[in-house]
Amino acid sequence: MNIKNRLIAIKIIHTVIWIFFNVVLGYMAYAVMINKIDKFVWIGVGLIVLEGIVLLIFNKRCPLTIVARKYSDSQKDNFDIYLPNWLAKWNKLIYTTLFVLIIGGLIYRILKQ
């Protein structure tokens, strides 16, 4: 596989993982809104926390970004994922904020019961 195809493969994998975590956060937000706190909410919390630990271990960078860097010298924030550049740039802040809001709602729902 040539360098261009390797980068494309990484971008596809990275984008699919990003979509997966959007589904996880979406489900968690929906479950908290309708007060359906089930095992999948807790699995989602665990997955997001695990993702956060991985990012901390790799100095706030996704391991796929580190691998993709070998195949590109682009300085764009979206060089390693199929997202608009602005979203790739602010991705961690946006999704951390959403997660904190979801956790706040989850805590509220638990304490209200």
At 72, the pLDDT band (50, 70, 90 cuts) reads very high
pLDDT digit string, tens, across residues 1-60:
899 999 999 999 999 999 999 999 999 999 999 999 999 999 999 999 999 999 999 999
pLDDT at 91: 96
Task: Return the residue matching tokens 């390797």.
Answer: 6
When divided into structural domains, the chain yields a total of 1
Q: And the tokens for 36?
A: 């359906």
Cβ neighbours, 10 Å, residue 31: 19
Q: Which domain holds residue 102?
A: 3-112
User: SS3 of 16, please?
Assistant: helix
Distance separating alpha carbons of residues 85 and 79, to the nearest angstrom: 8
Amino acid at the residue 78: N
